Homo-oligomer: A and B are copies of this chain.
Amino acid sequence: MGIKERKEREKNRRRDQILSAAIELTGQQGFEKTTMDEIAEKAELSKGTLYLYYKDKSSLYQAIKKRALQSLHQDFLTVLQQDKPGALLVKEMTSSFLDMIQKNITFTKAIMLYRGSESSDSDQQSSIAEKCLNIENDVNMLMVKAIQIGVQDGSITTKLDPKLLALQIGFQMRGLLQFYILDNKNMGVKIFKEQNLTLGELMDQFLNIHLNHVEKP
């Protein structure tokens, strides 16, 4: 009896149907502006059904975030499977990241700026949120891996523990992302334009410094 299995598949399909609708609307209008009713309509389901598949709006947000992280993880994996110097792998990973955030600015803003958790009930964490953290860890691990390769093959010179270096590169990516999201009147943007830089070039400058660091004589 494959009924259990079929039902499981159907459930997953519904879940996906809802998630896809939510992602599409979020990309168009932002997450805050998207209502559960709209998502229900787009998914061709009633609102009540939404709540059978996602505990609340915040869970749905976490699921969207999870999707994006999975995609990034996949990109990083693909990069890592190439046989190239570690330093190049790191650069390509950061490029993947920049590509992703530039693909849909509304979506990126939504993902980054929603305060999913603001003092959430600490004992009853959504399992999706947990999974997001796990994927984030995995992504970070891939960066660590690339750095280790680079240290081995000599393309990266650093005093830092690869884990710490990966962490700092992660900080920089986040910071750059925030900057990218923020208002255009920001002075940073002016500097940016003055010097005719792209996000990618800025990131490369950063990496050049960090991946080729030697002590001052």
Main secondary structure of the interface of A (DSSP, over half): helix
Closest to A206 in B: B168
Given A119-B33, A178-B174, CB of A202 within 8 Å of CB of B164:
yes
With a CB–CB cut-off of 8 A, which chain B residues contact A197? 164
Partner of A188 from the list B157, B161, B167 (CB cut-off 8 Å) is B167
**A56 in the interface (beta carbon within 8 A):** no
* Copies of this chain, whole number: 2
Q: At the interface, yes or no: A52 with Cβ under 8 Å from chain B?
A: no
CA–CA, A210 and B205, complex, Å: 11
8 A Cβ contacts from A1-33 to B: 29-33
- Tell me if A118 is interfacial: C-beta within 8 Å of chain B: yes
Interface range, A side: 35 or more
Query: A105-132 CB contact bits vs B (8 Å, 1 = yes)?
Result: 0100110011101110000000001100
Q: Contact check, B118 vs A115: say whether CB atoms are below 8 A apart.
A: no
Other-chain residue from B175, B195, B206 in contact with A174 (beta carbon distance below 8 A): B175
Specify which chain B residues have a CB less than 8 angstroms from the CB of A195 in the assembled complex: 161, 163-164
- Cα-based distance from A119 to B31 in the complex (angstroms): 10
| Contact status of A174 and B164, CB under 8 A, knowing A30-B118, A115-B32, A137-B187 | no
Residue of B nearest to A163 (CB): B191
Determine how close the nearest CB of chain B comes to the CB of A114; give it in whole angstroms: 6
Which residues of A in the span 144-197 have a Cβ within 8 Å of any Cβ on B?
157, 160-161, 163-164, 167-168, 170-176, 178-179, 182-183, 185-188, 191-192, 194-195, 197
Which of A31, A109, A206 is most buried by chain B, counting CB atoms within 10 A of its CB?
Answer: A206
A46 at the interface (CB under 8 A from B): no
Answer whether residue A209 sits at the interface, using C-beta atoms and an 8 A cutoff: yes
Tell me the complex Cα distance, A117–B184, Å.
11
Q: A117-B182, A133-B187, A175-B176 are in contact. List 4 more A-B contacts (CB 8 A).
A: A130-B185, A171-B206, A174-B175, A175-B175
